[in-house]
Amino acid sequence: MAIKVVCAPDSFKGSISAVDVVLAMEEGIKKYLPSALVEKIPLSDGGEGLVETLLASAGGTSQVIMVSNPLGEPVLSEYVILKDKKTAVMEMAAASGLPLIPQAEHNPLKTTTTGTGELVKNALDKGCSRIIMGIGGSATNDGGMGMASALGIRFFDAEGNILAGKGEDLIKIKKIDLKGLDPRIKKVKIQVACDVNNPLTGPEGATRVYGPQKGASEEMVEVLERGLKNLAEIIKEQFNLDVEDVPGAGAAGGLGAALLAFFGGELQPGTDLVLQAVSFSERIEGAQLILTGEGKLDKQTAHGKVIAGVCREAGKKGNESTKKEDKF
């Protein structure tokens, strides 16, 4: 009977993608065990590479569309519709990510998540009823205003003017109007692959922790912090929902908070979402060996990273096998 080997690594960030890692693993296995059955399952913790990984692991079709980049300029972006034809997998960074604009133009007062909303709208147009969204790598700190605006929500200032949805607009919000929200979104399950636990505001919040790496000066940080606090207060006042201290609400410059407040999004550990989406538990059934890895082993490895998830699922299978043996 041929040995079954599962190859289930994350990417080695900055060096090689998870898809290429599994191919290299397979080549090495076949060299010494040519008859081995190799199950290739490239994985992701929900960050960079989520779309490529799930396309390779779960199958589906790539969707390439034109959306707005963080500065509102047109850019080609890609997401995937899995083979069930109902699940869309997308990375907000593909529309609203830091690498999409020149470093000299990194300014979270001026950037917006509008393009991410356009990705979601396209998935709705394609009939998707489930969206898995990775929200790492953003260039934005707009509290999700841009995304929400692209899907029909309106933000008004004190004079009744509609705000564009940039970071600088947060502090101007006086009223949020949901009447124009695309009604299709209410029937969609949105699962957010979130690998950070930052609240919306405060010392560990979106702006103070991540704002500077997006180009925010000390002055900008203070303006954006007050803006996100204003957004949280308006949401609490109008919708009786407190998002300010929710773990993960500060992800992607506050996009996590918008997904929670306006779309009923579920913030979940990215690794768990990916393992579920690729039917990992079922696919490792009967394996004698599971190979995994990532670019660096450190104190974060045991906290929600791919290796920890793979080991947990492998341990479950091992315990199941032991229980079966105990019956004889």
Express each pLDDT in 152-185 by its tens digit. 999 999 999 999 999 999 999 999 999 999 999 9
Residues 135 and 251 sit within 8 Å (Cβ to Cβ): yes
Q: What is the pLDDT of residue 304?
A: 73
> What are the Cα distances from residue 259, in Å, to 115, 116, 194, 271?
15, 11, 11, 19
Radius of gyration from C-alpha coordinates of the chain? 21
Residue ranges making up the domain that contains 18:
4-43+278-326
CA dihedral (208, 212, 218, 223) in degrees, to 10, reads -60
Q: 185: closest CA among 155, 141, 150, 146?
A: 150
193-213 pLDDT, tens digit each: 987 789 999 999 999 999 999
pTM for this one? 0.88
The C-alpha atoms of residue 137 and residue 293 are separated, in whole angstroms, by: 22
Q: What is the pLDDT of residue 305?
A: 84
- For residues 125 and 227, membership in a common domain is answered with yes
Q: Which of 224, 248, 271 is the last residue of a domain?
A: 271
- For residues 309 and 202, membership in a common domain is answered with no
- 252 dihedral zone (left: phi>0; alpha: psi -120 to 50; beta): left
- For residues 190 and 317, membership in a common domain is answered with no
- For residues 226 and 308, membership in a common domain is answered with no
- For residues 287 and 264, membership in a common domain is answered with no
Q: What is the pLDDT of residue 324?
A: 54
Q: 205: closest CA among 173, 268, 251?
A: 251
Per-residue confidence at 319, pLDDT binned at 50, 70, 90?
Answer: low
- 196 dihedral zone (left: phi>0; alpha: psi -120 to 50; beta): beta
Residue 124 reports pLDDT greater than 80? yes
- For residues 318 and 208, membership in a common domain is answered with no
The C-alpha atoms of residue 226 and residue 320 are separated, in whole angstroms, by: 52
- For residues 211 and 302, membership in a common domain is answered with no
- For residues 163 and 82, membership in a common domain is answered with yes
The C-alpha atoms of residue 253 and residue 127 are separated, in whole angstroms, by: 28
Q: Helix, strand, or coil here: 24?
A: helix
Write down how long the chain is.
328
Per-residue confidence at 328, pLDDT binned at 50, 70, 90?
Answer: very low
- The 10 Å CB-count burial string (b at 16+, else e) for 45-68 is bbbbbbbbbbbbbbebeebebebb
Residue 320 reports pLDDT greater than 80? no
Q: Which of 271, 292, 314 is the last residue of a domain?
A: 271
- For residues 83 and 170, membership in a common domain is answered with yes
Residue 117 reports pLDDT greater than 90? yes
Residue 109 reports pLDDT greater than 70? yes
The C-alpha atoms of residue 218 and residue 197 are separated, in whole angstroms, by: 23
Residue 326 reports pLDDT greater than 60? no
Q: Which of 248, 271, 294 is the last residue of a domain?
A: 271
CATH number for the domain that contains residue 35: 3.40.50.10350
The C-alpha atoms of residue 42 and residue 9 are separated, in whole angstroms, by: 6
- For residues 185 and 319, membership in a common domain is answered with no
- For residues 123 and 221, membership in a common domain is answered with yes
The total number of structural domains that make up the chain: 2
Residue 187 reports pLDDT greater than 60? yes
Q: Which is more confident, 207 or 136? A: 207
223-266 pLDDT, tens digit each: 999 999 999 999 999 999 999 999 999 999 999 999 999 999 99
Q: What is the pLDDT of residue 31?
A: 95
- For residues 15 and 139, membership in a common domain is answered with no
